Structure 1
Amino acid sequence: MWKMVKKLDGVILFVLLVLMIISILAIYSGTRFDPKLANHHVKTIYFYVVGFIAIIGIGLFNYKLYVKYAFLLYGIGIVFLILANVVGSTVNNANGWLKITETISFQPAELFKMILVLFLAHLIVKRKRGELGFWRDVVPIGLWTFIPFALVMAQNDLGNALGYVVILVSVLWIGNMKLKHALIGLTIVGAFFIGFIKSYTFYHDEVFTFLEKIKREHWAERIDPWLVPEKATAKAMWHTKNAGLAIGSGGITGKGFLEGTSVQSGRVPYTYSDSIFVVVAEEFGFVGASLLILLYFILIHRMVLIALECKERAGPIIIVGIIGMLLYQVFENVGAFLGLMPLTGITLPFISYGGTSLLINMACIGLVMSIKLYGDEDEDEWLPEEQSPSLMQRIWSLLKKKKENSAM
């Protein structure tokens, strides 16, 4: 066992250790004047200890076992998402939290991100080598992803729901999707995105009225400062405006630890979670923020190297799915305070306070470690036996035969 532990990627562990230190300092700085949040930095230490144990525990087990039983994990995850919709409690407008005790709760939507990566890898490795067919492969995989997407959207959690889409796109890309299908998809997404921006800005009042009727007006409060700041309410602009001023005031080297005027005065909300990047930027400046981004780059780089060294298909698919998940969170969180993205409540990986988010991210790193340890084994030894064709595959086969017969 000890020999296996020594084979774990030391660079990744070191990066996580530095991120832990940054997280503890930033959370302490952002919560020290709030009695209700005063011990959050201590809880973060506990979460990290459990997280490092999870990395070792998950890393020592062969990841191919997780892939093999991913269908079962998917089913369990769906049950949790349904329970969150039915009996979940609400936190920051999202009603997707399941209470274990009065003080302990977790968010199934966060857990399902890791499950989705494993499940999509499971679906793709069952396919024969070669490019993915559109109706035979891409559409069924997309439908499997749509189920949790719809459940999480029903929880009013847009940020995590979009994260599932990013994971899907990442996995399809590494899973050898046909170039023409990828280009068609990008064209559709681009047209939808441009159409959304044009429609939202032109019919803003009508959209806002509709969102009020369905009790989703807080979506407009997050989108308005990004797209139409001139129409945004003072309440909607408060968060992003003060966050932008705080980041700019940090300058090159920052105001110093515990010296951030905007952070310490409470003018920036959620400095321990969604807005924690503002704490780093104001108190440690451009240098501190750049160091944080560099640490993410090193982490992603090491994961890419492990994927390249893996000799079978599931490992790289899992790693790219995890990379896509992490990059989305970083870009969305940081970009929201730089005016590049709307606020969606996404936490900054390994930095923001949140036990579920941190533990799931650490568990994903555990999967990466497992791929490093077991990625050189022959996949024929563990791949599931060929199963009977699915309904979609049978339909595709019948259509193909009909086309061939008509051609004759």
Structure 2
Amino acid sequence: MTEFIPPGTRWFELPSPFPMKRGGALHGARIAYETWGELDAARGNAILIVTGLSPDAHAAANPGNPEPGWWESMLGPGKPIDTDRWFVVCVNSLGSCKGSTGPASIDPATGGPYRLDFPELSIEDGADAAAAVVHGLGIQRLACVIGNSMGGMTALALLQRHPGIAGSHINISGAARALPFSIAIRSLQREAIRLDPNWDQGGYDDATYPESGMRMARKLGVITYRSALEWDGRFGRVRLDSDRRDDDAFGLEFEVESYLEGHARRFVRRFDPNCYLYLSRSMDWFDLGEQFGGDVMRGLAAIRIDKALAIGVRTDILFPLQQQEQIADGLRAGGCQADFLPLESPQGHDAFLVDFERFGPAVRGFLDALRPSAHALKA
């Protein structure tokens, strides 16, 4: 059981006990976070970033860690999320293995890793933990909360459960509830991990890591993070230069297979399998309409913010475009000035991580338009 904590990580100690939505509580739990920029005197220029399943809190280089982060092209001085103007906080998700308390962390009650004794994890728990960090930093109202992928779910839960915590929201390739296709894919990913004999009901260690299961889970994920258009344009039917080995009749033959294998092998030893299972299931459980008899539009309309932007990608099959349109429509029904922006990127769900020519101007334009309200908060 290993945690993968980047240099420069800071921690916020959650209230103890920290109650979980589906029962149980955490004691001595913490959330990993990083910050950029400076908080103004009125504490009105803060932006919160909540991430997808696998990223850590290191979204961009900062004095604590000069290495490029996972959103380096979007965050920094003069960039779309301009840290000369904004004070930015990025939190690592509760349940992760990147510094926040999760199944790979030490259970203070036993002195050993939580493993499957970690309480059932919901998206709402991650939202509550993020809210605790925000208020713990002395910020009563965020200028904006930005959520990508799973973070889009977390951001919506945050806004619903903590009214008034933010004035605006950018939802990027997120959703107000899980769809059957996404649930099916994540179910297969979890099954691949659980069927690996090394998983051992969550009792593996570094020497008996369920590598095969994690490789398959990651490959399935990467296939859905991109689009058929990108796969075809990037790899076509190009075959590997090397001949197949005689003792591996069904081994890797095409370049796309080699790409998936390399991507999976780079990931598997950098993420804890039990954390993956918990976070994956939390997305399947999420439904913003749960307390409204399953009416997700009522759940969205109950959120009170001034302005929102929901960005989606036409080639996204994991969080399809209609989910971001639904977010904008639902928030608008509640009185929010909400816009929906469909992008033509060929890169599928992962486009927000790579297609900065499209995402950068959209995010910059939205945040630039918030400046008058941010200045008003200072007055």
Structure number with larger C-alpha Rg: 1
- Larger RCO (CA under 8 A, 6+ residues apart): 1
The alignment's TM-score, normalised by the length of structure 1, stands at 0.23
Higher helix share: 1
The alignment's TM-score, normalised by the length of structure 2, stands at 0.24
